A and B are shown apart, each in its own frame.
Chain A
Amino acid sequence: TLLGILCTDAPVGAAPLQQSLTDAITKSFNSISIDGDTSTNDTVVILANGAAGGKPITSTSSDEFRAFQETLTAFAIDLAKLVVRDGEGATKFVTIKVTNAKTYEDAKRVANSIARSPLVKTALYGKDANWGRILCATGYAEGVESVVPEETSVSFVPADGSEELKLLVRGEPEQVDESRAAEILAEEDLEIVVRLSEKFDEEAVVWTCDFSHEYVTINGDYRT
């Protein structure tokens, strides 16, 4: 279960507060996945008491509202990432960035499909640059129009920001430098970039982790 409690002393009315939280959640807590299971209890709340003073934010059309929304979204993303860092049994923190999609929703569906794939997650645990599993999960993402197999590319981006390792370019497999792949996968942090089509430019990011033996141990023990 995910729970989140946020508090601010900024003066934000209930209606703009709800709008800003709803918007922030899409790109933060609704963009993480540990094990693909949605809990019965997930809740994130925010309280704003206005104790720091200043002009109250009462509408969703002001500059103050937009600035608050940006602050809240960035803050919620940082909190959400901590949950992924603590995924049960996780040894890796994985950013999945899907670009060149027709819509944000398409990109998000593909990213979620990859993030939920047990075979992708076990490959990551095993430090295997298994782009085939990534491509497979991309291909079965439901309701996605913008996957074009011959235009799809997959790369790993190292945590140190050095040049990406191309695994698949426009549907054609690359000759992968296995030693460099091993170096990249030895790090805790990894970014997977999937480019869908050169015709489109929407993108989405989802954060996830790998699946380890420890996950099974924990959940084989945890009892209802």
Chain B
Amino acid sequence: VSKLAPQAREYAAPGQGAIPPSKKRYIPTSGTYPLGFSAASAHVGVKPSNTRFDDVALIASEVPCSAAAVFTTNKFQAAPVTVSRNMLNRRRGEGIRAVVVNSGCANAVTGRGGIEDAISMGHETDQCFVNDSNGKDDGQGSRSIVMSTGVIGQRLPIKKITSKLGTVYGNLGETHHHWLSAARAICTTDTFPKLISRTFTLPGSQEEYRIAGMTKGAGMIHPNMA
């Protein structure tokens, strides 16, 4: 790489670079997060060059919840897109417990093996919940949504990932720090984690509700999801 582009820098590991001063104002220092959800991250080293930074995130609900999704309409859909869409269709968007995300490898254009890896990532995430009070298998298969982001055309180091899912599950927490760590772990070439939260009310209800969201993306961005 250095011979081809001596000016090139390494951009691959999440959180690797210092956050540019002009971007710091977009990173929240606190948040109001939805009840019953928790977030976490852990270092796996999906990219071998990433020796320090968290690259797997988990967002989980204490109770089974409704879920909906939109996916890329690119005809070459990555394995986690296919697996997650099929899972949500099978379950009709009900009974979901978690979203598990890795950065560093997109698990895209990886053939049947990639599909098996994505299924395994979801299944092993489910296993983290089997011993909690809402973790009993309902007989409808996986209840974890799987996402991957990073380079295309490489197989996931699935054993490395699944071996750390217990760690990331153990890191789950409800604080701003937990949410921000998860937002940072899904980054690739992003220069800052993207996380916002707010409260809202609905007509005819006394309740106050919360919504939180994290996103990542910096390049290969012209979404056309459905």
Which of B34, B71, B213 is the one whose CB lies under 8 Å from A42? B71
Question: Which of A57, A85, A220 counts the most chain B CB atoms within 10 A?
Answer: A85
Q: Mark A residues whose CB is within 8 Å of B.
A: 1-10, 12-15, 17-18, 20-22, 25, 29-30, 32-55, 57, 63-64, 67-68, 71-72, 75-76, 78-80, 82-83, 85-88, 112, 116, 188, 215, 217-224
Chain A residues with Cβ below 8 Å from B219 are: 34-35, 37, 87-88, 215, 218-219, 222
Is B212 in contact with A7, judged by CB distance below 8 angstroms?
Answer: yes
Category for how many chain B residues contact A: 35 or more
Is A4 in contact with B99, judged by CB distance below 8 angstroms?
Answer: no
Tell me if B131 is interfacial: C-beta within 8 Å of chain A.
Answer: no
Chain B residues with Cβ below 8 Å from A25 are: 70, 223, 225
Using a Cβ cutoff of 8 Å, how many contacts connect chains A and B?
A: 300
Is B211 in contact with A55, judged by CB distance below 8 angstroms?
Answer: no
Known: A3-B101, A3-B215. 15 other contacts (CB 8 A): A4-B214, A5-B213, A14-B68, A25-B225, A35-B221, A35-B222, A42-B225, A43-B225, A44-B225, A45-B67, A50-B66, A55-B204, A116-B222, A217-B8, A221-B8
How many angstroms between the C-alpha atoms of A50 and B12 in the bound complex? Answer: 37
Chain A residues with Cβ below 8 Å from B198 are: 75
Question: Which of B23, B72, B198, B210 counts the most chain A CB atoms within 10 A?
Answer: B72
Is A41 in contact with B68, judged by CB distance below 8 angstroms?
Answer: no
Which of A40, A67, A86, A217 is the one whose CB lies under 8 Å from B217? A86
Q: Contacts A49-B34, A86-B190 given; indicate if A224 touches B74 (C-beta within 8 A).
A: no
Is A64 in contact with B74, judged by CB distance below 8 angstroms?
Answer: no
Q: Contacts A14-B67, A63-B203 given; indicate if A224 touches B151 (C-beta within 8 A).
A: yes
Tell me if B153 is interfacial: C-beta within 8 Å of chain A.
Answer: yes
Is A1 in contact with B196, judged by CB distance below 8 angstroms?
Answer: no
Question: Which of A4, A6, A35, A86 counts the most chain B CB atoms within 10 A?
Answer: A86
Q: How far is the CB of A189 from chain B (nearest CB, A)?
A: 12
How many angstroms between the C-alpha atoms of A93 and B188 in the bound complex? Answer: 20
Is B194 in contact with A83, judged by CB distance below 8 angstroms?
Answer: yes
Is B220 in contact with A35, judged by CB distance below 8 angstroms?
Answer: yes
How many angstroms between the C-alpha atoms of A156 and B198 in the bound complex? Answer: 32
Q: Which residue of A lies closest to B191 (CB)?
A: A86
